[in-house]
């Protein structure tokens, strides 16, 4: 009996190590939007926006505002817009972009007074800002993703901006069960995997419902909206996932596979996501069937979850995970911890376990999505294949290799 208990505890400890992998990789999927750093400044204070540069603004090409443009996805999107010779401005919680071609506004997304000046002479708004998913702060998510987005919509209508492109997430339809080749007409999740996803659902709904709203000062013009749903964003300058995998592999915590290792998942190269955003903006025109809709934008090349993880860590010189833990056993342990937290809540207050059944599901179930609608109506096709994307990503993270000093 004692041996069985010790064996169970040993397995639980193994699962806790695997938990670190599951929880951190969950940001691939639920964190499809741009992560806002220094969120206290964003939500608790109001800043007078400041511009990095003042220059003549021609009207021959569209002028865009990228909300969250100093972050991972936002920066890649800004660079793609510049390559296309668009006029570009950034609105972010901090100034972290140094390019004389770009006006940078620092302000509070939830403040009308902060946001309106940044919308002057803007034709298209790309909204890809959100708090970090790992914070699990429901109040913060509601304030930024929902209330802040409603402020974006109202300010767009007041400033006469006619196009709004939202970075949403394919996870808005995911409930911990297999999704294979999922389409956009799947219903929103009734039991979202976390508070972040719950508020991303509310955010997408309010943006798409705003399609067709009249401009405040010119009712002859309408707001046109669209949502882009990427899944598992990765690539150069990834601030979290790649470095986390390397750190865990170096620490010897990249040994376990949850399930049989065959569950297929979408990972999406960040430059393909930026490309999809640009195509979405181009599809917004009066009478277009793309208006008021969401579109999946992925690499259109599903890959086994653990195979992707293995390619990243072996590409950096580490050993691939190889010990398989039964999916339902790990899920049961996560569920048991959840029940324990509920039972002891009256005595100990709220116990927070990041090792949740939903996080286990993310690493052990199928979740990949069809891009057929984006191909048909946005003329979307990935610019980079999965092999090219992984190679380009690894080339920018050579300092994380096993034979180098971690930075």
**Residues identified as active-site:** 196
The DSSP element (H or E) to which 72 belongs, if any, is helix 72-83
In this structure, the dihedral spanned by the alpha carbons of residues 141, 282, 373 and 34, taken in order and rounded to 10 degrees, is -20
Q: Which two tokens stand for residue 358?
A: 């939903």
How far apart, in whole angstroms, are the C-alpha atoms of residue 392 and residue 313?
Answer: 14
Give how far the C-alpha of residue 322 lies from the chain's centroid of Cα atoms, to the nearest Å. 28
Q: What is the DSSP string of 241-292?
A: HHHHHHHHHHTT---EEESSS--EE--EEHHHHHHHHHHHHHH--TT-TTTT
Overall size of the chain counted in residues: 407
Question: Which of 34, 21, 15 minimizes the C-alpha distance to 196?
Answer: 34
To 10 degrees, the CA torsion angle through 260, 136, 205, 82?
Answer: -90
Number of Cβ within a 10 Å radius of residue 7: 10
Q: Check: CB of residue 389 under 8 Å from CB of residue 235.
A: yes
């Amino acid at each position: 009996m004692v041996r069985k208990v010790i064996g169970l505890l040993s397995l639980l400890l193994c699962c806790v190590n695997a938990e670190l992998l599951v929880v951190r990789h969950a940001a691939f999927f639920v964190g499809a939007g741009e992560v806002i750093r220094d969120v206290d400044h964003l939500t608790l204070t109001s800043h007078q926006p400041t511009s990095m540069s003042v220059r003549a603004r021609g009207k021959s090409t569209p002028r865009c505002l990228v909300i969250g443009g100093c972050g991972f996805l936002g920066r890649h999107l800004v660079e793609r817009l510049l390559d296309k010779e668009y006029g570009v401005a950034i609105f972010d919680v901090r100034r972290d972009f140094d390019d004389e071609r770009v006006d940078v506004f620092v302000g509070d997304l939830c403040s009308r007074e902060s946001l309106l000046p940044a919308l002057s002479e803007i034709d298209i708004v790309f909204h890809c800002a959100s708090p970090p998913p790992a914070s699990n702060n429901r109040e913060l998510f509601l304030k930024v993703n929902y209330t802040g987005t409603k402020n974006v919509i109202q300010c767009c209508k007041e400033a006469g901006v006619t196009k709004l492109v939202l970075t949403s997430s394919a996870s808005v339809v995911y409930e911990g069960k297999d999704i294979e080749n999922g389409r956009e007409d799947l219903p929103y999740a009734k039991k979202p995997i976390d508070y972040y996803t719950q508020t991303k659902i509310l955010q997408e709904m309010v943006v798409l419902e705003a399609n067709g709203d009249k401009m405040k000062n010119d009712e002859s013009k309408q707001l046109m909206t669209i949502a882009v749903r990427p899944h598992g964003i990765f690539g150069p300058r990834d601030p979290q996932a790649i470095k986390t995998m390397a750190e865990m592999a170096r620490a010897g915590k990249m040994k376990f596979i949850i399930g049989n290792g065959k569950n297929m998942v979408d990972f999406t190269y960040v430059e393909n996501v930026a490309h999809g955003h640009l195509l979405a903006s181009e599809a917004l025109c009066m009478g277009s069937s793309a208006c008021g809709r969401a579109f999946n934008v992925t690499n259109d090349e599903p890959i086994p979850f653990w195979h992707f993880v293995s390619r990243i860590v072996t590409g950096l010189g580490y050993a691939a995970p190889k010990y398989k833990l039964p999916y339902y056993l790990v899920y049961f342990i996560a569920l048991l911890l959840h029940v324990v937290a509920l039972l002891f809540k009256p005595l100990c207050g709220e116990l927070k376990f990041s090792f949740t059944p939903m996080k286990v599901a993310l690493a052990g179930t199928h979740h990949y999505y069809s891009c057929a609608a984006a191909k048909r109506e946005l003329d979307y096709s990935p610019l980079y294949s999965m092999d090219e994307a992984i190679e380009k990503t690894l080339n920018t993270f050579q300092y994380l290799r096993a034979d180098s000093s971690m930075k």
